[in-house]
Amino acid sequence: MRKLAAGNWKMNGLGESLSEIRALAEAHPAPACDVLICPPSTLLARLSDAAGDAIATGAQDCHANETGAHTGDISAEMVADAGGTYVIVGHSERRTDHGETDDTVNAKARAAWRAGLSAIVCVGETLAQREAGEALSVVGAQVAGSVPDGARAANTVVAYEPVWAIGTGKVPTLEEIAEVHDDIRARLKARFGAEADGMRLLYGGSVKPGNAAEIFGTSNVDGALVGGASLKAEDFGGIIAALA
């Protein structure tokens, strides 16, 4: 399957950041993997225009409903209207800051499909859960609850992001990453059969140009969800090159 290098800009980026996208598009006109940038929603339409054909764009969240009285929210249809083709749902920062549950995330993933988008469903354990030996059970329960019935390879990506590895410079060992990714694949196969073979499983959490190649070489890792190192064309370009 074609791997995916996905950048999550989080709450970073102003109009001037479009120059990073132009530089990325220029440096990687025909990348060997799929490339995606999820900027803040204020930049999505402009970034979609600037990104060109080789770089897909998406949002970092969407509301489950199509329209309505939900001040401050955006719908999956609005993401599509702004040129996005993906939406991240259930990022740990949204689970923590906004109290999102597996049920919320599940509804948002279905909203993404309704609008013709691919959902990137995020899961991951806290440090306390890992130290208690609960990583596989916590992640397994999140996958079970957050990935909706009817998921298909073409519209569903699962991102494993250990909460303790996000923005910390700490990365699990390759064995730990493989253990979780193998387990997620097995759970998806048990539920979705052969369709699960084509679902991309991303690793996220302190991925940098320097560690990307070894992470991408790990069992059942089909790409990365990158925060800090996706903000600069040079750093993200290094990660894209490592995926080739």
Chain residues that interact with ligand 13P, rule: CB under 6 A: 8, 91, 161, 166-167, 204-207, 225-229
Question: Strand runs (DSSP E) across 1-76, as ranges?
Answer: 4-8, 34-38, 55-59
- Longest CA–CA span in the chain (Å) reads 46
Rounded Cα gap, residues 47 and 55, in angstroms? 10
Distances (CA, A) of 147 to 103, 155, 167, 178, 223: 9, 11, 25, 20, 18
| Two tokens, residue 60 | 């970092």
Q: Please, which residue, 77 or 177, has the CB nearer to ligand 13P?
A: 177
CB 76 within 8 A of CB 114: yes
Q: Please, which residue, 77 or 231, has the CB nearer to ligand 13P?
A: 231
Active site residue 214: no
Q: Please, which residue, 63 or 95, has the CB nearer to ligand 13P?
A: 95
Of 186, 207, 104, 195, nearest in space to 156 by CA: 195
Within 10 angstroms of residue 13's Cβ, the number of other Cβ atoms is 18
Within 10 angstroms of residue 19's Cβ, the number of other Cβ atoms is 11
Beta bridge partners of 37: 7, 57
Q: Please, which residue, 77 or 161, has the CB nearer to ligand 13P?
A: 161
Which residue, chain included where needed, has tokens 């097995």?
186
Q: Which amino acid is located at 174 in the chain?
A: L
Q: Please, which residue, 148 or 162, has the CB nearer to ligand 13P?
A: 162
The minimum distance between CB 159 and ligand 13P, in angstroms, equals 7
Residue in 91, 93, 125, 181 annotated catalytic: 91
Rounded Cα gap, residues 244 and 219, in angstroms? 16
The minimum distance between CB 174 and ligand 13P, in angstroms, equals 17
The minimum distance between CB 190 and ligand 13P, in angstroms, equals 26
The minimum distance between CB 117 and ligand 13P, in angstroms, equals 17
Active site residue 161: yes
Residue in 20, 93, 100, 161 annotated catalytic: 161
The minimum distance between CB 209 and ligand 13P, in angstroms, equals 12
Active site residues per annotation: 91, 161
